[in-house]
Amino acid sequence: MLATAWARQERQHMGGSPSRKPTSFDIAYLAGVSQPTVSRALRNSPSVSPATREKIQKIAKELNYKVDKNASSLRSQQSNTLALLFFEDPAPDDSLINPFFLSMLGSITRQCARRGYDLLISFQQLSGDWHTDYQDSHRADGIILLGYGDYEDYRDRLTHLVGQGTHFVRWGLAGTDEPGLTLGSDNRGGGKKAVQHLLENGRKNIAFIGTASSHAPEFEARWLGYCDALTEAGIAIDPALQRDGFSSEESGVDAVQSLIASGQKFDAIFAASDLIAIGAMRTVQEAGLKIPEDIAVVGFDDIPASAMTAPPLTTVTQDLKTAGEALVTALLQQIAGEKVESSALPVKLMVRDSSAAAKP
């Protein structure tokens, strides 16, 4: 092994244990690459080929090489820290953090650790000055933004971040005209899958609960998926079956109460989030109706609580592990000056008892 040979040579030269610590230049020499390539490989940068990364990391391990994070930060003028900003959202507890994003936190934290970065977590109100902090003050090299909120309230701030050159990535609707880098799920495709499932199970009057406007782009995309499925099935879109609502149980409660009070006939509900679906289920049952016999329900997100409802909730599941890893990777690529495109991750339908087929 080259690294073993280096260590043996150092011991012979010094007459015992090597007194000089190995450097990244030693690794570069042994690997036959440049020192910047070593630095990138030890940060797991995708700009270095997997084979070269593996070779460099193996040599570093054999030499017991440790990255001096403080020295590296001084040289690069970077903090080796990423900031994760949660935005205020309706929640079933006092956290004001959507449980979907809490579920994503684990994979983001692990991916940061793998890439040698610390993670600074902060809770933000949309009325605050979050768009002028963190990277400008060198507290973090880049920002991950999580939270729904009202998109129209903070779109201008995202544009401001782009204008000042801040490195950031957000979880949302990955569209072509969104300011900055956005990763998200295939919201429209997921909405279509959910409604097709209900149609296949004999449901014909399907209500949609979720704000279908630019204030909630992800919900709007799920609404469009709902419309796609109905249109392909030859069923006209009935505006009377749509109710606005942001991601909270209260929205589900209010929407179902409104539908029942209107006398509108419906045999299924597609809710734009699991929180909405959970509130809707409770209100359906309080009205003396059975799930799924009278009303089938499908949600979106697959938060942990969705499997614990009675009956368990059918929902569109998003791969949280992949999502968290993708957010960190995309942000680090952006920080490294690499070209990164907004993209949407695939989704799957998690079928549970809340959407069983209607009885003839």
Nearest to 153 by CA among 133, 191, 124: 124
Q: Are residues 124 and 40 in the same domain?
A: no
Q: Are residues 133 and 217 in the same domain?
A: no
The whole-angstrom separation of Cα 196 and Cα 316 is 12
325 pairs with which residues across the strands? none
Q: Are residues 191 and 232 in the same domain?
A: yes
The CATH number of the domain holding residue 308 is 3.40.50.2300
Q: Are residues 202 and 309 in the same domain?
A: yes
Q: Are residues 61 and 98 in the same domain?
A: no
- Sign of the four-CA dihedral 139, 145, 150, 152: positive
Q: Is 73 within the bounds of a domain?
A: no
Q: Is 287 within the bounds of a domain?
A: yes
- Residue 143 gets the label, from left (phi > 0), alpha (psi -120 to 50) or beta, of beta
Q: Rounded to two decimals, what is the model's pTM?
A: 0.75
Residue 50's domain comprises 2-67
Q: pLDDT by residue (tens digit) across 38-55?
A: 877 887 777 688 899 889
- Residue 91 main-chain phi, psi, to 5 deg: -150, 160
Q: Is 360 within the bounds of a domain?
A: no
Q: Which of 41, 67, 93 is the last residue of a domain?
A: 67
Q: Are residues 302 and 331 in the same domain?
A: no
The whole-angstrom separation of Cα 360 and Cα 355 is 15
Q: Is 37 within the bounds of a domain?
A: yes
- Return the H-helix or E-strand segment holding 358: none
DSSP per residue, 121-176: EEEE-TTS-GGGSTTTTTS-SEEEEE--S-HHHHHHHHHHHHHTT--EEEES---S
* Side-chain-side CA neighbours of residue 242 (13 Å): 18
Q: Is 72 within the bounds of a domain?
A: no
Q: Are residues 158 and 194 in the same domain?
A: no
Q: What's the structural domain count of the chain?
A: 3
Q: pLDDT by residue (tens digit) across 129-185?
A: 655 555 555 678 889 998 756 777 778 778 877 877 888 999 998 876 778 899 999
Q: pLDDT by residue (tens digit) across 247-300?
A: 889 999 999 999 999 999 999 999 999 999 999 999 999 999 999 999 999 999
| Contact of 169 with 145, CB cutoff 8 Å | yes
| Contact of 119 with 140, CB cutoff 8 Å | no
